[in-house]
């Protein structure tokens, strides 16, 4: 039966459903060219019969046949993208001769609408697209449940609403399977919501713990830190990290923020008080440094090089201990103090350079003197002559005078080596001729003679055992006497 909505609409039990645009255009052309067309004028395929030709041009819309040819030609020139269907509607529904559209369910067929706008296949395709829309909605809910677990409750509400619509939906497809998918989303959403809540609680606990740690660190800085630059930088870093921490309830977050803010204010107060004290002390520091500058300038022209250099070192120690004056005054005072130092030390360096140039000739003379006496001082050959030559060398050495500082160590080392060779030779000679050592060695020989005499008496008396024992004792003391003499000779 024709539907009350007229041609161009597919009627369902709920509300009119607009058919595809090309079907609506076809129906309008049909009504324009054949206002009196009846169902009997259509062929078995549902297409309207061609209009009777009329001479002359006809105004108005093109005939259905012309439009059909135009529509049929479109795929060859502009192919439409192929639509991937969620299911084949012909497997799940049908359109009867009256245009009623049915969907098959386990409980039997159910009419979902009426199709009067074209071929039955187009009607099934239309209601199949409505099923595809439902499939897309379910798929979207499934994906959202995975990608946004924190919105599981909203996803469940949407799935429940969709599940209520599926049994009565004006669509052709596997509605039971789709309803099962929607039910699975509803069931799974409960577990997802629970897991999301647990993760949220864990994240909240971690966020609270981190902010508590930052607040505790800030409180320690605010209470005791005196590293003003580093501590101030650290508080700024803590604040930047604080801003990135989310997921804490307002009450807890406000309490933690108050702790951090209070600690930061305490640090700022202590730092401000510290630098205020510094500002008050800088006036007295300025007076101390002005006095140091005056003392430095007073001795800058001294030629008492050693004592004045020591005085300048002490003035520098006092300068460092005084602290800082106001920046401008401190820089100006330091320039004056440094200028006084430079005046003195430049003069000392110039005097040392002049003195070293004079001492250079002395160094050359001493090198020549060493070369002259190098062969004359040979204690191994003649100790007495070596001693005499060394005394002459030492006398002439002192007469030459000082040498440049950089050559002093090398020259002194060479003459000290000659002095040591003579001294070692003299010590060795004394040890060889030591009377006490020789007397001690002679005592060993006395003991040898005593035991040999005892052995001779024992032999004369026929006491062979006593004679043998006395000879053994004499032999032992002879070894000791020889060893003592060798020790004296090799000392």
- Residue 174: count other Cβ atoms within 10 Å of its Cβ: 19
Predicted confidence at residue 489, as pLDDT, reads 62
pLDDT tens-digit map of 206-219:
999 999 999 999 99
Distance CA 484, CA 481 (A): 5
> Which is more confident, 78 or 387?
387
Task: Indicate whether 59 pLDDT > 70.
Answer: no
| Helices marked H in 305-434 | 305-322, 327-374, 383-400, 405-432
Cβ atoms of residues 123 and 101 within 8 Å = yes
At 311, is the pLDDT very low, low, confident or very high (cuts 50, 70, 90)? Answer: very high
At 388, is the pLDDT very low, low, confident or very high (cuts 50, 70, 90)? Answer: confident
The C-alpha angle 16, 8, 166, rounded to 5 degrees, equals 35
pLDDT tens-digit map of 250-295:
999 999 999 999 999 999 999 999 888 877 788 888 889 889 899 9
At 400, is the pLDDT very low, low, confident or very high (cuts 50, 70, 90)? Answer: confident
Task: Indicate whether 69 pLDDT > 60.
Answer: no
Average pLDDT over residues 164-168: 90
Helix (H) or strand (E) holding 217, with range, is helix 175-224
pTM of the full structure: 0.39
């Amino acid at each position: 039966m024709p539907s009350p909505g007229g041609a161009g609409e597919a009627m369902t039990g709920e509300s009119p459903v607009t058919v595809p645009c090309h079907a609506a255009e076809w129906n309008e052309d049909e009504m324009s060219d054949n206002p009196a067309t009846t169902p009997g004028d259509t062929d078995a395929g549902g297409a309207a019969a061609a209009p009777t030709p009329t001479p002359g041009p006809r105004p108005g819309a093109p005939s259905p046949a012309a439009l059909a040819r135009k529509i049929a030609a479109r795929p060859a020139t502009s192919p439409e993208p192929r639509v991937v269907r969620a299911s084949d509607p012909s497997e799940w529904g049908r359109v009867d001769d009256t245009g009623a559209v049915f969907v098959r369910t386990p409980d039997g067929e159910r009419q979902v609408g009426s199709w009067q706008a074209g071929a039955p296949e187009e009607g099934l395709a239309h209601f199949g697209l409505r099923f595809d829309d439902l499939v897309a909605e379910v798929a979207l809910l499934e994906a959202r449940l995975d990608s946004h677990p924190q919105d599981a409750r909203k996803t469940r509400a949407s799935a429940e609403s969709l599940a209520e619509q599926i049994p009565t939906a004006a669509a052709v497809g596997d509605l039971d399977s789709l309803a099962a998918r929607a039910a699975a989303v509803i069931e799974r959403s409960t577990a997802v919501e629970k897991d999301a809540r647990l993760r949220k609680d864990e994240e909240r606990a971690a966020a609270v713990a981190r902010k508590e740690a930052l607040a505790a660190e800030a409180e320690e800085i605010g209470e005791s830190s005196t590293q003003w630059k580093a501590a101030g930088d650290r508080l700024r870093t803590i604040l930047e990290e604080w801003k990135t921490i989310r997921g804490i309830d307002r009450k807890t977050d406000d309490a933690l923020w108050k702790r951090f803010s209070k600690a930061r204010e305490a640090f700022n107060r202590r730092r401000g008080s510290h630098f205020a004290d510094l500002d008050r002390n800088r006036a007295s520091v300025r007076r101390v440094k002005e006095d140091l500058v005056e003392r430095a300038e007073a001795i800058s022209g001294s030629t008492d090089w050693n004592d004045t250099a020591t005085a300048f070192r002490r003035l520098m120690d006092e300068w460092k201990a005084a602290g800082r004056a106001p920046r401008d005054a401190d820089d100006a005072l330091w320039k004056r103090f440094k200028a006084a130092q430079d005046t003195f030390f430049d003069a000392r360096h110039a005097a040392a350079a002049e003195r070293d140039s004079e001492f250079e000739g002395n160094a050359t003379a001493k090198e020549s003197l060493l070369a002259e006496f190098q062969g004359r001082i040979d204690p191994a050959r003649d100790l007495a002559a070596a001693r005499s030559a060394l005394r002459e060398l030492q006398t002439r050495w002192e007469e030459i005078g000082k040498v440049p500082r950089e050559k002093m160590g090398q020259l002194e080392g060479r003459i000290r080596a000659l002095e040591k060779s003579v001294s070692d030779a003299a010590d060795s000679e004394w040890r060889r001729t030591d009377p006490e050592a020789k007397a001690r060695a002679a005592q060993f020989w006395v003991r040898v003679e005593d035991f040999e005499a005892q052995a001779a008496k024992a032999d004369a008396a026929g006491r062979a055992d006593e004679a043998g024992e006395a000879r053994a004792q004499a032999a032992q003391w002879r070894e000791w006497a020889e060893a003592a003499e060798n020790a004296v000779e090799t000392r």
